[in-house]
Amino acid sequence: MEREIKVLQEKATRDIDGARTLEELEEVRRRYLGRKGALAQFIKRLGTAPQEVRPLLGQQINRLREELENLYASRMRALEEEALQRRLAEETLDITLPGRRRKIGRLHILTRTVREIQEIFLRMGFEVVEGPEVEIELYNFERLNVPRDHPARDMQDTFYLEGNPDWLLRTHTTAVDVRVMEGRRPPMRVLSTGHCYRRDAPDASHSPMFHQADGFMVGEGVTFADLKGVLMTFAREFFGPQTRTRFRPSFFPFTEPSAEMEISCVFCGGKGCAVCGNGWLEILGCGMFHPRVLEMAGIDPERYTAFAFGMGVERPAMLKYGIDDIRLYFENDLRFLEQF
Amino acid sequence: MRVLISWLSEYVDVPISIPELSERLSMAGLAVEAVEPFGDDFVLDIELTPNRPDCMSMLGIAREVSVLLDLPLRPPKVDLREEQEEASRYISVEILDPELCPRYVARVILDVEVGPSPPWMQRRLEAAGIRAINNVVDVTNYVMLELGQPLHAFDYDRLRGGRIIVRRAMEGETLLTLDGEVRSLDPSMLVIADVERPVALAGIIGGAETEIGPSTRRVLLEAAYFHPTSIRRTSKRLGLRTEASSRFERGMDPNGPVIASARACQLLQSVARGRVLAGAVDVYPLQVSPRRIRLRPERLKRLLGVEVPGEKIEQILEKLGCAVTRGESLEVIPPTFRPDLAIEEDLIEEVARIYGYNQIPAKMPVEATTQGRRDPVLEIEDTIREILVRCGFHEVHTYTLTNPQVFQRIRVPEGDALREVVRLRNPLVEDHTILRTTLVPGLLQVLSTNAARGTKDVHIFELGKTFHPLSGEVQERRELGLAMMGELTEGNWNLRPEQVQATFYHLKGAVETLFEELGVSGYQLRRGTRPWLHPGRSAELLLDGTVIAVLGEVHPEVARHYDLPLRAYLATVDIEAILPFVSLRRAYRPIPKFPAVYRDLAVVVEEEIPSGEVEKVIAEACGSLLERIELFDLYQGPPVPEGHKSLAYTLTFRAGDRTLSSEEVEELLARARQLLTQRLNAWIRGQ
Ligand SMILES: [Zn+2]
| Interchain CB distance below 8 Å, A223 and B389 | no
Distance CA B179, CA B177 (A): 5
Q: Give the integer Cα–Cα distance in Å for B486 and B497.
A: 9
Q: Smallest Cβ distance to A159: which of B305, B382, B426?
A: B426
Q: Are residues B383 and B487 in the same domain?
A: yes
* Contact (CB, 8 A) for B54 and B60: yes
Q: For residue B86, report the distance from its CA to the centre of ligand 1, in Å.
A: 62
- Are A229 and B401 a contacting pair at CB < 8 A? no
pLDDT over threshold 80, residue A246:
yes
Q: What is the 3-state secondary structure (H, E, C) of B103-132?
A: EEEEEEEECCCCCCCCHHHHHHHHHHCCCC
Write out chain B residues lying below 8 Å of A107, CB-based: 385, 389, 395
Where does B320-396 have alpha helices with state H? 344-355, 376-390
Q: Is residue A104 part of a domain?
A: no
Q: Using CB atoms within 10 Å of the CB of residue B97, give its burial: 0 to 12 exposed, 13 to 18 middle, 19+ buried.
A: middle
- The full 3-state SS of B2-27, as one line of letters, equals EEEHHHHCCCCCCCCCHHHHHHHHHC
Q: Nearest Cα to B151, choosing from B136, B166, B129, B163?
A: B136
Residue A122: list chain B partners with CB under 8 A. Answer: 372-374
User: Is B405 inside any structural domain?
Assistant: yes
- Calculate how far, in angstroms, residue A264's C-alpha sits from the geometric centre of ligand 1: 8
Q: Which of the listed residues A58, A90, A122 is the one where a domain comes to its end? A: A90
Instruction: Quote the pLDDT of residue A140.
Output: 95
Query: How many angstroms separate the CA of residue B421 from the nearest CA in chain A?
Result: 10
Measuring CA to CA, which residue among B480, B559, B565, B560 is closest to residue B520?
A: B480
B398 vs A100, A125, A332: nearest CB: A332
Residue B677 lies in a domain: yes
In angstroms and rounded to an integer, the radius of gyration of the C-alpha atoms of chain B is: 41
User: pLDDT tens across B308-334, in order?
Assistant: 999 999 999 999 999 999 988 999 999
In this structure, what CATH number is given to the domain that contains residue A165? 3.30.930.10
Q: List the single best residue of B30, B49, B357, B457 to mutate versus A (max A Cβ within 10 A).
A: B357
For residue A289, tell me if it sits in a domain.
yes
- Strand pairing category for A209-219 and A188-197: antiparallel
Find the closest chain A residue to B429 by CA distance: A201
**CA pair distance B37, B44, nearest whole angstrom:** 9
Residue A131 structural domain = 109-337
pLDDT tens, residue by residue, B664-673: 999 999 999 9
Give domain status of residue A103, yes or no: no
B446 — phi, psi (to 5°)? Answer: -65, -40
- Minimum CA–CA partner of B465 in chain A: A133
The pLDDT of residue A52? 85
Residue B487 sits in the same domain as residue B623? no
Q: How far is the CA of A281 from the centre of ligand 1 (A)?
A: 8
Q: Label residue A38 by pLDDT band (50, 70, 90).
A: confident
Minimal Cβ distance to A225: which of B51, B363, B396? B363
| 3-class SS of residue A25 | helix
A130 and A265 share a domain? yes
- CB–CB contact B364 A219 (8 Å): no
pLDDT above 80: residue B380: yes
**Per-residue model confidence (pLDDT) at position A51:** 85
Whole-number Å distance, alpha carbon A274 to ligand 1 midpoint, is 6
Q: Which of B68, B96, B117 is the last residue of a domain?
A: B68
Q: How confident is the model at residue B687 (pLDDT cuts 50, 70, 90)?
A: low
ipTM here: 0.90
Question: Domain ends where: B19, B35, B68?
Answer: B68
Which CATH number goes with the domain that contains B16? 3.30.56.10
Using DSSP's 3-state secondary structure scheme, residue B459 falls into strand
Measured in Å, residue A205 CA sits from the centre of ligand 1 at: 17
> Which residues, 6 or more positions from B183, have their beta carbon under 8 angstroms from its beta carbon?
B174, B175, B176, B177, B201, B238
For residue B474, give its domain range: 376-581
* Same domain for A172 and A306: yes
Sequence-ordered alpha helix ranges (H) in B226-361 = 228-238, 243-248, 256-272, 297-304, 310-319, 344-355
> Are residues A121 and A26 part of one domain?
no
Q: Would you say residue A39 has pLDDT above 90? A: no
**Number of A–B residue contacts, CB under 8 Å:** 268
The span from the first CA to the last CA of chain B, in angstroms, equals 96
Q: Residue B260 in contact with residue B80, Cβ under 8 Å?
A: no
B563 DSSP assignment: T
Q: Give B211-235 pLDDT, tens digit per residue.
A: 999 999 999 999 999 999 999 999 9
Do A110 and B233 lie within an 8 Å CB cutoff?
no
Are residues B436 and B546 both part of a single domain?
A: yes
Q: Contact A332/B397, CB-based, under 8 Å?
A: yes
Looking at chain A, how many residues does it have? 340
| B368 within some domain | no
Using DSSP bridges, classify how beta strands B82-86 and B275-278 pair: parallel, antiparallel or unpaired: parallel
What are the tens digits of pLDDT across the range B439-481? 999 999 999 999 999 999 999 999 999 999 998 899 999 999 9
Is there a contact between B474 and A258 if contact means CB atoms under 8 Å apart?
no
Subunit contact A248:B397, Cβ cutoff 8 A: no
In terms of residues, how long is chain B? 687
Q: How many domains does chain A have?
A: 2
Mean pLDDT over each residue of chain B, to the nearest integer:
95
Q: How far is the CA of A241 from the centre of ligand 1 (A)?
A: 17
With CB atoms and an 8 Å threshold, state whether B303 touches A195.
no
